[in-house]
Amino acid sequence: MAERFVNFEKDGAIGVVTLRRPEKFNALDIPMLRALEAALDDAELAESVRVVLIRGEGKGFCAGGDVEAWGAMSAADFQVQWVRYGHRVFDRLARLRQPTIAVLSGHALGGGLELAAACDFRVAETQIKLGFPETSIGVVPGWSGTQRAVRRFGAQIVRRMAIGGEIFLAVDAFAHGIVDRLVETGKAFDEAKTWAEKIAERGPLATEAAKLMIGVAEGEEDAAATEALASGFIAMSADLKAGVGAFKAKQKPAFSRS
C-alpha cells in the first residue's frame, strides 16, 4: 500500500525514492509522509545503496503540503500530527546515512523546497520555480523552512522567499546556491544519477562519516553523531570482540587495546 504513494527501488549502488501523487503535483498528506518515512527506512537498510535520489513522478517535484489535508485540522492536531510529524520525516531524510540528491524536474514550493533542502544536493532543470509562498495564505513554513533552509541557503535568501514572497527561477536559485547543478529540461534525473555514480565510487564509510561530521558542524546532527562515530570505531576493535566473547562465556575479558 505504501508503494502506491512513495516507491523505493535499487539500481546498483543507487537508491531511488519516488513521490507518486502526480495528479496533485506530489503534494504531501499524512499517508504520503508515512510512505516517505517507510521508504527512507528501506533505503537506509539497503546495504548495497550508497547514494539516494529523491524525485517526483509527473510534472512536479513536490508542491508542498496538501492544503486540503491540513486545512480542517484543529490547532492541536495541526501542531502535532502535521508540523511535528512532518519535521520527523524530514529530519529522517536529512540524517540518512547515505548522501542524497533531490532531482528537481518540477517546481519545489513550500514543503517541496523544504524536502529538497533536507537533501545534501539539488539538481534543477531550468524551467522550474522554487520558493516559500506560505505567508500568502496566512501560514508559515513549518517543516524547517525557517531553520534548516536558513542554515543551508542563508537567512537573507530565506527572508526574500518567506517574507518577501519571491519565487526564484532555477537559474536564480543556482546563482544563490539554493541548487547545486542546473540542467536543461528533461535532464535532471540523468545528471543526478551520473553524479550519484561518481559519489558511489568513493569510500562508503568515509563518505558516511564525512556527511555525519558536516552535519555536526552545521547543527543538523547532535550528541547522537558523536556516540555513533565513537561506537563505530569501537565496533572494529579486538577489545569489543574480547568483551562480548568473555560476556558470553561468563569469563573476565582480556583486553589488548587493539
Catalytic sites, residue numbers: 114, 134
DSSP summary character for residue 18: E
Q: Beta strands 14-19 and 6-11: pairing type?
A: antiparallel
Residues in the chain: 258
SS3 call for 56: strand
Angle at 136 between CA 131 and CA 141, to 5 degrees: 55
Measure Cα distances from 160 to 19, 109, 135, 153, 157 in Å: 28, 14, 12, 11, 5
CB 93 within 8 A of CB 113: no
Distance, CA of 137 to CA of 247 (rounded, Å): 61
What count of Cα atoms within 13 Å lies in the side-chain half-sphere of residue 40?
A: 25
C-alpha cell, 197: 555514480
CB 54 within 8 A of CB 9: no
Q: What sign results for the dihedral spanned by CA atoms 73, 76, 151, 41?
A: negative
CB 112 within 8 A of CB 144: no
Any bridge partners for residue 16, and if so which?
A: 9, 53
Distance, CA of 190 to CA of 209 (rounded, Å): 27
